A and B are shown apart, each in its own frame.
Chain A
C-alpha cells in the first residue's frame, strides 16, 4: 500500500511508538523502533523552495519509525486475526502532528484487511 492512513499512536518514554490502532485493531510494537528518514518529491508539492525554506529538512524528508508489531486483540465482527509479526512504517506529520501508517513491509496483512 502507498496511501497514508491516519492512525492513533501511543508513545513510549523516548517518544518512539509503543502501540497503535489501525482500522480498529490495536497493534503492539515488539521490536526496538528503528528511526529512519524517507524522502518525498518536494518539487511536486506545488509550493516554493527558496533558500532556507527546508532548514529542518522538512521539505525533503519524512521521519519514519520502522517497527515490528502484532495485533493485540481481535477486531470483533471480522473474526479472528492473523497474530503473526508484521513490519510497519509509522510517520508523524510535523505540521498537524497526526500519525500515519505509511507502509507495511509485509503485504499479507494488507490483503487480509482489505479482503
Chain B
C-alpha cells in the first residue's frame, strides 16, 4: 500500500473544532496502511497521550505536535499599502523524536509559554489569557526548537493560515518570500512549507492554485514542502458537525459568520492524497516530479518526528519528587521501613504479641511488594502531603482501596484500621501493577484551595500542577449549542434543554418516542422542522469535548522535570494546570493525588469547633459522653477519628431512619435500606454502603443478607473454611476482598494472585474456570493427604464466583466511606444542634437547605431568625431560653454581594435601621429583602413600647430608600440626623402585620428556605379537605391503603432496575417527614410532564411496607399542588 502520513490532524480534543477521537483517527489511519500517525490539536496536547497510546496499541509510530495561533508582535505598526500588517494566523509545530525527549520537552515548554500571560500585557498575574491571546509570536519558537548546538528539536509548518500562506493568498509573492526568508533565518532547518489543498474556490486559501503557489514558493526558496490535509474530521459527514462546532465557538448562529469553505478537511486515504499532490504539481509551473518530492519530504519529516515512547516520553515510568524534596535522607525503602515499624507500636500499642507478630509479617509483605515496584518514595510523598494537611489543622481521610494498606494506616494516610476490618493490601497494590496506584484523600471542601497552594509552595511549581478534565457535551449543553447554531429563540431552546438530561444525547430521537415527560418535545418535533433538525444536531454533538477545566480534586506531583513532560496552562484559580487529564496520568507516569474537597468533612470540622466554642470543658457532659472519655480533651476538643465505633445510641438513631444529614445514608433509597437492615454495628454500615449500588440491588444480594441478619435463615458459608471471612456479611459475598480470599484459599495461591483472578473473572475471562477447577481439585491437605474441596464443593463454589461477576465492591472503599457516615451519625446523636449548624453551613448532602431546617424543626431545635446585628456568614449555635438554637446565616440571602456581606459583618452591631443602612451600605433592594425576612426586626424595637410589626419595619425601609442620596459615613449631613443614630423613634406605627403566607413566600424567595413555618401550611385548608395523610403517619397504616400525600419535592431518582424498565422515585417533604413514591410505567404516563418539573405535588398511591421501619407508596396518580389550589380557591369563591 502507498504510504502517506497525515501530519496535521486535529482531534475532538481541539475543542469546538475537531470532531473525531484520537483513537478513531488512528484506527482509520491504520486501516489505510499507515506506519506513522500524527496529532496536532489546537493550543495543546489535550489528545496527545491518547494518540500515543492508540499508536502503541496499533503497533505504529506516533507523531505529536500542536496547532498554535501566531500572534502579531507587540507593537506591530498598522498596515501600510505595500505591506499589509499581519492579521494573525496559525502555524503547526511538530516535535522531533528519538532525541531523549528533547523534542517533546521543547513542544511542552513552547505550549506552556503560549498559554502563560504575555509579558507585554503585564499585570494580569497568573490568570488565564483570554483564548484569543493564546499563541506565540514568530520570534518565540526559536528559543525552544533549537538545542544549544543549533540542532532542530522540532519543525514549524507554515501552512495556508501562516503569515507566508496569507501573503501568497493575497497575491503578494514578494512579501511571501520575504516572510519565508525571515523564518528560515530564525529557525534554520526547523521549518517546512505546509501545502494544503481543500479544493476551495480558485484563488482562496486552500485552493488548488494557492497550494500550487505554495509549492512553487518552497521550491524557489529551497525549503522542504510537505503535504497535509489540515484534518479536522474523520469522514465527509462530520463536516456538518464541524459547522455546528464553529457556531458554538463563535457564539453566532449558522449563517451569521463566515463558515468553513467546504467539507474537505477529512482524513483522506493515501491514494486520495497522492492524487491531490499530483493535481497540485500539475497546476504549478513545476515538473510533475514536484509531487513525488513533496510526498517524499512529508514522509521524511514524519520519520524525523517519530516518537520513541520509552526514550522520549519515559512512558509509564514513575516520575516522583526527589528525596530531598520530601525530606528524606538516604534510601527511601529504608526510610519507609523505619517509619512504618516505629508507627506499628504507636498505632497498635495495646495489641497482644501474637497480633503484633501477624501485623509485623503483614507489614513486611507490603513493604516487599512496594519496594519491588520501587514505590517507596511514592508512599513517602503521599505521607508528606497528608502530614502537611494535618499540620494545617485540616481534616482528611483516605478513600478507596488505599485504605486496605497497613503501610497507609501506619503513615496516617488512612484512618481505617485494615487489620480490624479485614481489608487487603493486595486489592490496592497487586502483583501485576506497574503504574503508580491511586491514593485519594478527602479533605474539608472549604479549605481545598488552601491545600493546593500549600502543595505548590512545598514542592515548587516546577514539580506540581493541577490535573485538568475535559468537559464534554451532554444532552442539555448539546441541545443549547445546536439551538444556538440554528438560531432558534431562547425560549424554545430553553424548553427543550430544560427537559432533557437523563439520557445520552446520542439517543435523543430514540428516547423521544419512549418517555412520557418528553411528549411536548416529541410533538414539537413532529410539527416543526427546525426542532426536528435540532434533534439530529444534538445527537451529533454528544460527548464531544467542550472545554478543559480544573479537575475537582487532582493534583499532579512529579520531579523537577515535570514541565518537560506536560504543557501547563493557567487554571480558574490561577495555579498552573496540566493539559493532561486523569486518563493520561498513568501513561505519562506522574503521581496523581486526589485531594477531594468533601463538604461533609467541612461540616464535621465546623460542628466540632462549635461544640468546643459553646460547651468548652462541659463538652463531654453535654454530649452525654462518659466524663473521662479519652477522645475529648479538657478544652472540649473532640478527636473524631478516635471515637468508639460501637456506640449503641448512634446505631439506635440510625435505625430510626431519620438519617437526614448523615453521610451516604440520607437518600430515599438508603433510608429504605437502613429501615430494612436495622444496622447494629460498624461492619453493617460498611455492608450497607457496599450493597447500595445498582449491581447488588439488582442482583438481590440484599435479601439473603437481611434474612440471615434478622435470623430468618441460617447462614450459608459455601464452605466451612470460608466462615472466618464471610461471617461479617452473614455468608453473603459482598466484597472484592472476600472473592480474593476464596480464590486464594481454594487454589492455594497468594492473595495477589487471588486479586489477579478476581480482575480476570470480572472481565469474563473464560480461562479462569479451567484454572480454578484444576488447582482447587489439586488442593491437598498435607496433614491428612485428602483433598480440601470435593467435586461438589468445586461445582458449588464456582457457580457462586461466576454469578458474582461485577457485583463486588472494594471493602476498603466501603470502610473508608463508612467512617464519616458513622462520625456524622455520632455527632447528630450526641450534639444535634452543632451538627445541624455544620450541615446548614456547608450543605454537604443531596437535599436543599430548606429540608435541613425542616429536620431541625422536627427535632425541636429553635431556629433564630436572621438578624443583621447577630447573624454571621455561618449558621451559629446560640443559647436561647436555656436551650441551644441555630441562628440563620447571612450567606444564604439571595443577591447579596461578597462586599455587602463583608461590610455587614465588619460593622456589627447596629443601633437602628438607619444606622445599618448607612454603615453597612447595602443596596436598596438588599435592604428591602433583609427587611422582608425579618433581619431588621431587632433594630426596630423601642424600649417600653409595643414591638413594631413587620409592616412598620417595611414602612421605615421604604422611607429610607426613598431618600435620593444616601449619606456616606463621612458625610456629616445635619439635615438627616435620623440616619446617624438609633432610629427607634422614627419607626412608623400602625402598619398591619405580615400574614404567615406572606412571610413564608418572602422567605422562600429570598432565602430559598422557609423559616416561619413549612411551605405546605399555606395550603392547609385544602389539604385538610382532601384528607391528605401526613408523612409521619404512613408507617401506621395498613399495607395497601390508598392515600393522598402532599409536599415539596426533595428528590427524584431513576435507579437502574432489574427489569430494565424505568422506575421514577419521587420524595416529598411535608414538614412531618418524607414520603417516597414509586412511579411505574402506567403512573408515569398519567403524571406525564409533572414527573420531573413540578415542585409542589399531591400524589395518590398505595402504601407498601418495605421493612420494620420502612414504608413507601406505589403511585397511582399525581397533581400539581398549585394548580389544585387555584381550582379549589375558584370553587370557594363561586
| A residues whose Cβ falls under 8 Å from a Cβ of B | 32, 34-39, 41-44, 46-57, 59-61, 64, 66
- Return the contact of B254 from the options A41, A47, A51, A57 (Cβ within 8 A): A41
| B residues whose Cβ falls under 8 Å from a Cβ of A | 198-202, 207-209, 235-237, 239-240, 243, 254-255, 259-264, 279, 283, 485-486, 509, 529, 532-533, 536-537, 539-540
A43 touching B486, Cβ below 8 Å: yes
Q: How far is the CA of A32 from the CA of B261 in the complex (A)?
A: 22
- Return the contact of A43 from the options B199, B279, B485 (Cβ within 8 A): B485
What are 7 pairs between A and B in contact, CB < 8 Å?
A37-B261, A39-B260, A39-B261, A43-B486, A54-B236, A55-B237, A61-B236
Top 6 nearest A-B pairs (CB, nearest first) are A57-B236, A37-B262, A60-B263, A50-B536, A54-B237, A55-B237
- Return the contact of A59 from the options B240, B254, B255, B532 (Cβ within 8 A): B240
Which A residues are CB-close (under 8 A) to B509?
50
Which A residues are CB-close (under 8 A) to B536?
48-51, 53
A38 touching B539, Cβ below 8 Å: no
B279 to chain A: closest residue by CB: A35
B263 touching A34, Cβ below 8 Å: no
B202 touching A34, Cβ below 8 Å: yes
A66 touching B259, Cβ below 8 Å: no
Which A residues are CB-close (under 8 A) to B486?
43
B262 touching A60, Cβ below 8 Å: yes
Which A residues are CB-close (under 8 A) to B202?
34, 36, 66
A35 touching B240, Cβ below 8 Å: no
Closest chain B CB from A47 CB (angstroms) = 8
Tell me whether A36 and B199 are in contact in the complex, defined as CB-CB below 8 angstroms, given that A43-B485, A50-B536, A51-B539 are known contacts: yes
Q: How far is the CA of A44 from the CA of B540 in the complex (A)?
A: 18
Which B residues are CB-close (under 8 A) to A52?
237
Tell me whether A54 and B200 are in contact in the complex, defined as CB-CB below 8 angstroms, given that A36-B207, A41-B254 are known contacts: no
Which A residues are CB-close (under 8 A) to B263?
37, 39, 54, 57, 60-61
- Return the contact of B533 from the options A43, A57, A66 (Cβ within 8 A): A43
B236 touching A39, Cβ below 8 Å: no
Closest chain B CB from A46 CB (angstroms) = 5
Most A C-beta atoms less than 10 A away, residue of B235, B240, B259, B532: B240
Which A residues are CB-close (under 8 A) to B199?
35-37
B262 touching A49, Cβ below 8 Å: no
B266 to chain A: closest residue by CB: A57
Q: How far is the CA of A43 from the CA of B483 in the complex (A)?
A: 12
Which B residues are CB-close (under 8 A) to A55?
235-237
B485 to chain A: closest residue by CB: A43
- Return the contact of B283 from the options A34, A41, A47 (Cβ within 8 A): A34
B262 touching A35, Cβ below 8 Å: no
Which A residues are CB-close (under 8 A) to B201?
36, 38, 64, 66
A53 touching B237, Cβ below 8 Å: yes
Closest chain B CB from A101 CB (angstroms) = 16
A37 touching B264, Cβ below 8 Å: yes
Q: How far is the CA of A7 from the CA of B33 in the complex (A)?
A: 43
Q: How far is the CA of A51 from the CA of B259 in the complex (A)?
A: 20
Q: How far is the CA of A62 from the CA of B202 in the complex (A)?
A: 14
Which A residues are CB-close (under 8 A) to B264?
37, 57, 61
Q: How far is the CA of A54 from the CA of B207 in the complex (A)?
A: 22
Q: How far is the CA of A22 from the CA of B200 in the complex (A)?
A: 25
B533 touching A48, Cβ below 8 Å: yes
Closest chain A CB from B277 CB (angstroms) = 15
A56 touching B236, Cβ below 8 Å: yes
Which A residues are CB-close (under 8 A) to B198?
37
A55 to chain B: closest residue by CB: B237
Closest chain A CB from B134 CB (angstroms) = 28
B533 touching A61, Cβ below 8 Å: no
Which B residues are CB-close (under 8 A) to A59?
240
A57 to chain B: closest residue by CB: B236
Which A residues are CB-close (under 8 A) to B283?
32, 34
B533 touching A49, Cβ below 8 Å: yes
B529 to chain A: closest residue by CB: A46
Q: How far is the CA of A42 from the CA of B243 in the complex (A)?
A: 10
Closest chain A CB from B220 CB (angstroms) = 22
B235 touching A36, Cβ below 8 Å: no
B509 to chain A: closest residue by CB: A50
Closest chain B CB from A62 CB (angstroms) = 8
Q: How far is the CA of A39 from the CA of B262 in the complex (A)?
A: 5
Which B residues are CB-close (under 8 A) to A41?
254-255
Which B residues are CB-close (under 8 A) to A47?
529, 533
Q: How far is the CA of A38 from the CA of B261 in the complex (A)?
A: 7
Which A residues are CB-close (under 8 A) to B485?
43
Q: How far is the CA of A64 from the CA of B201 in the complex (A)?
A: 9
Closest chain A CB from B28 CB (angstroms) = 14
Q: How far is the CA of A60 from the CA of B239 in the complex (A)?
A: 7
Which A residues are CB-close (under 8 A) to B262?
36-39, 57, 60-61
Tell me whether A51 and B237 are in contact in the complex, defined as CB-CB below 8 angstroms, given that A36-B201, A37-B199, A43-B486 are known contacts: yes
Tell me whether A43 and B254 are in contact in the complex, defined as CB-CB below 8 angstroms, given that A35-B199, A48-B533, A61-B262 are known contacts: yes
B539 touching A50, Cβ below 8 Å: yes
Q: How far is the CA of A53 from the CA of B1042 in the complex (A)?
A: 52
Q: How far is the CA of A51 from the CA of B506 in the complex (A)?
A: 10
Which B residues are CB-close (under 8 A) to A46?
529
Closest chain A CB from B260 CB (angstroms) = 7
Which B residues are CB-close (under 8 A) to A32?
283
A49 touching B260, Cβ below 8 Å: no
Closest chain A CB from B628 CB (angstroms) = 70
Which B residues are CB-close (under 8 A) to A37?
198-200, 261-264
A49 touching B261, Cβ below 8 Å: no
Closest chain B CB from A38 CB (angstroms) = 7
Q: How far is the CA of A53 from the CA of B260 in the complex (A)?
A: 19
Q: How far is the CA of A59 from the CA of B537 in the complex (A)?
A: 14
Most B C-beta atoms less than 10 A away, residue of A44, A49, A52, A64: A49
Closest chain A CB from B666 CB (angstroms) = 41
Closest chain B CB from A41 CB (angstroms) = 6
Q: How far is the CA of A21 from the CA of B540 in the complex (A)?
A: 42
Which A residues are CB-close (under 8 A) to B243?
42-43, 60
7 further A-B pairs in the complex, CB-CB below 8 A; given A39-B263, A46-B529 = A41-B255, A48-B536, A49-B540, A51-B237, A57-B236, A57-B237, A60-B239
Closest chain A CB from B267 CB (angstroms) = 13
Which A residues are CB-close (under 8 A) to B240?
42, 49, 54, 59-60
Q: How far is the CA of A57 from the CA of B238 in the complex (A)?
A: 9
Closest chain A CB from B234 CB (angstroms) = 11
Most A C-beta atoms less than 10 A away, residue of B236, B237, B536: B237
Q: How far is the CA of A21 from the CA of B118 in the complex (A)?
A: 60
Closest chain A CB from B1024 CB (angstroms) = 53
A34 touching B209, Cβ below 8 Å: yes
Q: How far is the CA of A25 from the CA of B264 in the complex (A)?
A: 34
Most B C-beta atoms less than 10 A away, residue of A42, A43, A55, A56: A43
Which B residues are CB-close (under 8 A) to A57?
236-237, 239, 262-264
Closest chain A CB from B332 CB (angstroms) = 53
Closest chain B CB from A49 CB (angstroms) = 5
Which B residues are CB-close (under 8 A) to A64?
201
Q: How far is the CA of A59 from the CA of B262 in the complex (A)?
A: 11
Which B residues are CB-close (under 8 A) to A35?
199, 208, 279
Which B residues are CB-close (under 8 A) to A44?
255
Which A residues are CB-close (under 8 A) to B255?
41, 43-44
A103 to chain B: closest residue by CB: B201
Q: How far is the CA of A45 from the CA of B89 in the complex (A)?
A: 33
Q: How far is the CA of A52 from the CA of B243 in the complex (A)?
A: 15
Closest chain A CB from B192 CB (angstroms) = 25
Q: How far is the CA of A44 from the CA of B485 in the complex (A)?
A: 12
Q: How far is the CA of A41 from the CA of B259 in the complex (A)?
A: 10
Q: How far is the CA of A49 from the CA of B539 in the complex (A)?
A: 10
B282 to chain A: closest residue by CB: A32
Closest chain B CB from A82 CB (angstroms) = 22
Q: How far is the CA of A43 from the CA of B228 in the complex (A)?
A: 29
Which A residues are CB-close (under 8 A) to B239?
54, 57, 60-61
Which A residues are CB-close (under 8 A) to B237?
51-55, 57
Closest chain A CB from B389 CB (angstroms) = 48
Q: How far is the CA of A8 from the CA of B259 in the complex (A)?
A: 31
